[in-house]
Amino acid sequence: MQNTQTPEYAIETKSLFIFYGSFAAVSEVTMKIEKQKITAIIGPSGCGKSTLLRAFNRMNDFVPSSYVTGEILMQGQNLYGKEIDPVEVRRKIGMVFQKPNPFPKSIYENISWGAKINGFKGNMDELVEQSLRSAALWDEVKDLLKKSAYELSGGQQQRLCIARTIAIQPEIILMDEPASALDPISTLRIEELMQELKKNYTIIIVTHNMQQAARVSDYTAMMMIDDNRSGGVIEFDKTQTIFTRPKDKRTEDYVTGRFG
Amino acid sequence: MIRKTFENEIQQVKDEVLLLGSMVEHAIIASVETLKKRDIKGAEKIIAEDKEINKKRFAIENQLMILIATQQPMAHDLRLLASCMEIISELERMGDYAKGIANINLRMGEEPLLKPLIDIPRMAQIGTDMLHRALSAFINEDVEAAKAIPVEDDVVDALYNQIYRELMTFIIQDPKTIERANWLLWVAHNLERVADRVTNICERTMFIATGEFNEIKSSDDEFWKGQKK
């Protein structure tokens, strides 16, 4: 298949460094994330994957000593610019965490709460249904909307968290090991859901599970620490290339399980 | 080294591919030798042994599938295992050519050879020698050798063309020789195909090593070009 269209990018980084105090946890990352594609970030523990992911929606701001240099651009705007409201950034760029973390409220309120805070004025019932449908959860919970989210299984809770993220109508969804606490069937359900979601959203996922990265993503960024223990992207390419003929020896060693 | 078990299993598969290769080499040489001597018992033995070649191929295929299913190979490992799948099928088909030659020997019955075999054993010798070196290149992932070996296919093609012309003159001189000439032509054709399949193995070796598919050349086309006016 030939695709002559020039790709559109949802977000890009330019010479991005992420510091914790004087320590550069992530160094010199310059990458463009294609719109409505799934980009996986892989690499050994401690290579800065999650740090990089959290930089995209300014979650690192909560770590007091952290700061970035360089730029993260969304539609040409630097997300770390002075005039930028980090809350607004997090509305546009949602996040799903490793462990499902629903609010201790009803299923319905888990969806409606964020929307209400964000000033949603439309039909709330519709938004809840639509969000739950998009997260492939509606059929399972449509008669339980008043029940506590805690009564759901882990896999269902994670899909609820995805529905909650979608309800805010973000442009990008960040996923930090979204299936690592789930059983294999729930994992596959999340992966299948991601393929649906990418029709409307750009997804960036951090995963330890290389097979998962290979299964779900369109692009893969391989991260590794350098001699100063600072993480960087050593190879970024189409997922099919990374897993069949990577260029960098370190990527080869990692994806074939010979790293370490 | 992590993944020592997997490494060992890969090594075992490679050893098995080599073993299959040597069974096939032996079958090709023996098929021509027994034809030369019109040794019917020998031909029957080759046909029986082809079953062993087929069995070995399926055993390796099974081993490969288990490795793919259980070890989730990636990158170089994946290219290697996927290519082994291809290579063992090439080898099995080469075994079939040897069996085909043994069958011709049986079908010839009491008929004597149309002519003493000189170029046909040479084709078998060159083809199996190419195969032998192609398999070493595969084991060592020697890209240079994998590139160089297919060039020798020209010699085999030239011999085939020569045999073809020679047999044609027999037929023209005495049309009663058609059947006996045809048998030998089939033998030569089988041997010509052996060398072609060696080329395929070399292409796979280059793919394993570099990750790139490169068709070296198709000598089938060369042959038919040679036949055009």
The pLDDT score that the predictor gives to residue A260 is 54
The pLDDT score that the predictor gives to residue B194 is 97
Over residues B212-229, the mean pLDDT reads: 63
Per-residue b or e along A7-39, where b marks 16 or more CB atoms closer than 10 Å to that residue's CB: eebbbbbeebbbbeeeebbbbbbebbbbebbbb
- Give percent of chain B with pLDDT exceeding 70: 94
Strands A77-78 and A66-74: antiparallel
Least confident stretch, A30-39, B133-142, B205-214: B205-214
Chain B residues with beta carbon closer than 8 angstroms to that of A260: 2
* Cα gap A201→A173, rounded to integer Å: 7
Chain B residue closest in CA terms to A260:
B2
Over residues B133-150, the mean pLDDT reads: 97
Over residues B25-37, the mean pLDDT reads: 97
Average pLDDT over chain B reads 93
| pLDDT band per the 50, 70, 90 thresholds, residue B228 | very low
Over residues B27-51, the mean pLDDT reads: 97
Helix axes B4-36, B178-210, angle to 10 degrees: 160
Q: What is the pLDDT of residues A237-251, one digit of tens each?
A: 999 999 999 999 999
Q: What is the pLDDT of residues A178-230, one digit of tens each?
A: 999 889 999 999 999 999 999 999 999 999 999 999 999 999 999 999 999 99
The pLDDT score that the predictor gives to residue A118 is 85
8-state DSSP, A148: B
The pLDDT score that the predictor gives to residue B229 is 46
Query: Could you tell me how many CB contacts below 8 A there are between chain A and chain B?
Result: 38
The alpha-carbon gap from A235 to the nearest alpha carbon of chain B, in Å, equals: 14
Nearest alpha-carbon partner for A81 in A91, A66, A71, A90: A71
ipTM confidence: 0.77
CA angle A143, A149, A150 (to 5 degrees): 125
Q: Is B3 on the interface with A (CB under 8 A)?
A: yes
Whole-prediction pTM value?
Answer: 0.85
The pLDDT score that the predictor gives to residue B226 is 54
Inter-chain contact A210–B1, Cβ cutoff 8 Å?
Answer: no
The pLDDT score that the predictor gives to residue A6 is 83
Contact (CB, 8 A) for B123 and B160: yes
Over residues B105-113, the mean pLDDT reads: 92
The pLDDT score that the predictor gives to residue A5 is 75
Chain B residues with beta carbon closer than 8 angstroms to that of A258: 1-3
The alpha-carbon gap from B64 to the nearest alpha carbon of chain A, in Å, equals: 16
Over residues B175-189, the mean pLDDT reads: 95
Q: What is the pLDDT of residues A21-67, one digit of tens each?
A: 999 999 999 999 999 999 999 999 999 999 999 999 999 999 999 99
| pLDDT band per the 50, 70, 90 thresholds, residue A259 | confident
Contact (CB, 8 A) for A80 and A47: no
Identity at B61, one-letter amino acid code: E
| Three-class DSSP labels, B100-148 | HHHHHHHHCCCCCCCCCCCHHHHHHHHHHHHHHHHHHHHHHCCHHHHHH
Over residues B174-203, the mean pLDDT reads: 96
The pLDDT score that the predictor gives to residue A81 is 94
Q: Is B76 on the interface with A (CB under 8 A)?
A: yes
Helix axes B219-227, B178-210, angle to 10 degrees: 140
* Cα gap A112→A91, rounded to integer Å: 14
Least confident stretch, A161-170, B11-20, B57-66, B212-221: B212-221
The pLDDT score that the predictor gives to residue B169 is 95
Is residue A107's pLDDT more than 90? yes
Per-residue b or e along A115-144, where b marks 16 or more CB atoms closer than 10 Å to that residue's CB: beeeeeeeeeeebbbbbbebbbbbeebeee
Q: Which of A211, A250, A256 to mutate to test the interface with B (most CBs of B within 10 A)?
A: A256
Is residue B189's pLDDT more than 70? yes
- Give percent of chain B with pLDDT exceeding 90: 88
The pLDDT score that the predictor gives to residue B219 is 53
Q: Is B79 on the interface with A (CB under 8 A)?
A: yes
The CB density around residue A86, as the number of other CB atoms within 10 Å, is: 14
The pLDDT score that the predictor gives to residue B1 is 56
Is residue B57's pLDDT more than 80? yes
Q: What is the pLDDT of residues B72-94, one digit of tens each?
A: 999 999 999 999 999 999 999 99
Q: What is the pLDDT of residues A144-177, one digit of tens each?
A: 999 999 999 999 999 999 999 999 999 999 999 9
Inter-chain contact A245–B212, Cβ cutoff 8 Å?
Answer: yes
Query: Which residues, in sequence order, are CB contacts of A207 under 8 Å at separation 6+?
Result: A40, A41, A42, A177, A179, A180, A213
Q: What is the pLDDT of residues A66-89, one digit of tens each?
A: 999 999 999 999 999 999 999 999
